[in-house]
Structure 1
Amino acid sequence: MKPWIKRSLTAFAGIAVVIGGLTACARDAHEHGPMDAARMTEMRAKVIQRVTRELDLTIEQQQKLNALADKLQAQHGALMGQSTNPRADMQALVAGEKFDRARALGLLDEKTRAVQAQGPQVIAALADFYDSLNAKQQAEVREHLGERKRWFSRD
């Protein structure tokens, strides 16, 4: 396998894990439509507060978590690109008699470039945060991932 493909797949897997975890708490917001910038900021603060409390993070670890959140937010913006309505983009692919393969490939290329451009920074921020955790905190993260617990479910 080519190195850039491995890096892309690794970046995508890392991003998927992190975004899945951090956006799990936004479940209620998505039921009412896409989040605006203010709602996104509010949810980000809640996620950071919850992770800080659950893992009993130090100030340094909180800074690394904030850096990770910044990178994830930048990645999200890059993945969204110029589109303000991803659902409409997808609906446009099937609007005609035939599936618009060229447009689908264009969307794929756009998203792949965004992951390739931002992915290494997200992985580095995730690694910095995880590596800053002590053994007990790392074990708790592994436990949550292994048991598919909901990190951000309401108490």
Structure 2
Amino acid sequence: MRMKLVMAMTTPQEPLHSLARDLRAHGPVLLAGMPQPHDELLALVWGPRFDRVHALGLMARQPQHAAHALPALLEAADRFDALHAPAQRRLRQMILRHRARSGAV
């Protein structure tokens, strides 16, 4: 009996992909009802540190989801803060590209 060992490979983009996965999972709740969700998202990641105050304000609009989404949001904030500046810029570019593809202004 031969066993095949598969090792997970970590790429330099993995932290960025991980943040994107979290955004796809929790973004709809966090940004629900916002007229410009991409702008709200950009506001969270525009500076060198994740804007936790703004994020908590968005979360306060959805108290029924806060208990489930808040830990993931804070973890994503910590991961964003740990990214190097080029990776942070790449994330912003991804959001801008998504906004352009979605037809948002």
TM-score range, shorter-chain basis? Answer: 0.3 to 0.5
Q: Considering Cα pairs closer than 8 Å and 6+ residues apart, tell me whether 1 or 2 has the greater RCO.
A: 1
Normalized per residue, the structure richer in helix is 1
Higher Cα Rg: structure 1 or 2?
Answer: 1
- TM-score, structure 2 length as denominator? 0.42
The TM-score normalised by the length of structure 1 is 0.31
